[in-house]
Amino acid sequence: MSSSSPNSRIASLAVAALLALWPASALAQGAGLGAAGELVDPNVLRVCADPSNMPFSDKSGKGFENKIAELVAQNTGRKSVAYTWFPTVVGFVRNTLGAHRCDIVIGYAQGDEAVQNTNAYYRSSYVLVYKKGSGLDGVDTIEDPKLTGKKIGVIQNTPPTANMATTQLMRTAKIYPLMIDTRLLPSMGEVAIKDLNAGTLDAAILWGPMAGYYVKESGADLAVVPLLKEKTGQRMAYRITMGVRPSDQEWKRTLNKVIREHQAEINKILLDYNVPLIDEHNNPITQ
């Protein structure tokens, strides 16, 4: 998912792994006719998702995208939610949404051309995570000289790596793989937080929703600092949308209405998972 945008998954959202080629022709496979003749099932919310990608989605329904899918189903007249499970690797869109096996991806970075984006339903950023009292207190940018020579964990090919290369932080970085099958391996965000707590790392730079969740799960007293002050290089903040097929204009409008009318409920779900939410002025959203 590789692009300069985060992962909804770019962060193991890792959203960049969803960059896949659309098929030359995508034929409907059992989808019902929805509004305006679109091939969207009018009775079941058919979701494309990774079966093992916490905190985003999980086959047992524990991820925040699972909770948001339930909210969408309830507010679009769907009787149930049905999943097409596929790991977040190259080919995700082609084999799910593009093949008409489902009608929505709950988390997708805005501006990604592999799907048609709804309006954003949250905005977050990459964050710097470190142990409080470790000498990094007050650091809020990759450009801070206090990070020089530090062992920083970062996921391969995500936006922070470009900024870290510019400040020569990649020389001492620990790089975790971007594209993994989390059915077989643990989330690299989870591994990085464990390494930080174990003292293997001095800090980690991760996609905010992933970092916030695993920091909360660890129970450790770690600082989670949104990286919003970078003066050069890649931006660290991204809007996350729902992804639909380019042809499904009416479906997109329906989802935009759900997002608009239920934003407070969506925020509550995200905050329960310790997602660092920020508004368009980079102010934190706490409720």
Higher pLDDT, 211 or 111: 211
What is the average pLDDT across 70-90?
A: 94
Rg of the chain taking only CA atoms, in angstroms: 19
What is the average pLDDT across 230-239?
A: 93
User: Is the pLDDT confidence value at 280 over 80?
Assistant: yes
User: Is the pLDDT confidence value at 87 over 90?
Assistant: no
Structural domains for the chain:
15-121+238-281 (3.40.190.10), 125-226 (3.40.190.10)
Read off the pLDDT of residues 6-58 as tens digits, 9 standing for 90 and up.
543 443 333 333 332 223 223 233 344 445 557 899 999 999 999 999 999 99
User: What pLDDT is recorded for position 174?
Assistant: 97
Confidence of residue 113 (pLDDT cuts 50, 70, 90): confident
What is the average pLDDT across 250-267?
A: 98
User: What pLDDT is recorded for position 183?
Assistant: 75
Q: Cα–Cα distance between 23 and 16 in angstroms, integer?
A: 18
Mean of all residue pLDDT scores within the chain? 87
The residue among 238, 234, 242 whose CA lies nearest residue 282 is: 238
> pTM of the prediction?
0.86
